[in-house]
Amino acid sequence: MARVRQERAEITRQAILDGAAIAFDHAGFGGTSLSDVVKHAGVTKGALYFHFPSKQALARTLVDEQFQVSADVPAIEDPGLQTVIDLTHRMASGLRTNVRIRAGIRLVIEFGSFTDPDPSPYNAWIETCRSCLTPAQERGDVVPSVDVHDLSTFLVGSFTGIQVTSHVRTGREDLHARVVDLWTYLLPGIVPADRLALFDPEGSPECRAALDLPTAPPLPLP
């Protein structure tokens, strides 16, 4: 009986998070009320307060979920540059297909513009990139003159700007193509020429298969 109650409680909790994600994705933090969450979740306010004491707690949980995109990185035996490329495509796919990821990213960006912004989500993404790029540089896949922390910071900022621009211009329909552009133009500046062919800006074959991504057409020659 206790297990049944726990399972029902978890189902309710996930329904609340789904409802909150829909509301936050549509109207942002300031434009969302707990009544909106209850409406989208199909639960009572009492059930909501049982699991989450405030709108802020709901938002923080959705923001924290963004780290799950990189959760498998520690389990990868030899993370490297292609790992980071694939992570950007995985995040792009999540933004296009998963409302909880979209809501979490919107909240991260909104919280970053508050009077007392929280840098921890960005710092966590930067550290994930750095943990992959450091061994890549040690293997000779990234030129020695590159500061991998600065590169990681640049990548997180660039991806953030790319996804916002894609959202405004095309509803993120072109997001994967824009991520390919990012890596196509960046890789020649950070990878030794004799190793450049080892890395695919479109994502590894395994990544493309997992995300059901088409192969982007090559950039036109100048």
Name residue, tokens 């007392």: 116
In whole angstroms, give the CA distance from residue 35 to residue 176. 35
pLDDT at res. 15 = 95
Q: CA 118, CA 95: separation in Å to the nearest integer?
A: 21
Q: How far is CA 47 from CA 14, 34, 100, 103, in A?
A: 12, 12, 20, 21
Torsion angle of C-alpha atoms 168, 169, 172, 177, degrees rounded to 10? -140
Q: Quote the Cα angle for 120-123-126, to 5°.
A: 155
CA 222 to chain centre: 33
Query: Residue 36: CB partners within 8 Å, gap ≥ 6?
Result: 23, 27
Residue 146's pLDDT is 98
pLDDT at 216: 53
Residue 63 is predicted with a pLDDT of 85
pLDDT exceeding 70 applies to what percent of the chain?
Answer: 89
Section 182-190 average pLDDT: 98
pLDDT at position 113 is 60
Q: pLDDT tens, 55-91?
A: 999 998 998 877 665 655 656 678 999 999 999 999 9
Q: What are the tokens at 159? A: 């991806």
pLDDT of residue 108: 83
Summarised one tens digit per residue, pLDDT across range 101-154 is 889 888 888 876 655 677 888 888 899 999 999 999 999 999 999 999 999 999
Please state, in angstroms and rounded to a whole number, the distance separating the CA atoms of residues 71 and 83: 12
Please give the pLDDT value at position 197.
96
Single-letter residue type at 193: A
Neighbours of 151 (CB within 10 A): 20
The average pLDDT across 9-31 equals 93
Using the predicted structure, report yes or no on whether residue 178 has a pLDDT greater than 90. Answer: yes
First to last CA, the chain: 69
User: Rounded to whole angstroms, how far apart are CA atoms 86 and 136?
Assistant: 14
Checking if the pLDDT of 30 tops 80, the result is: yes
pLDDT, the chain, mean: 89
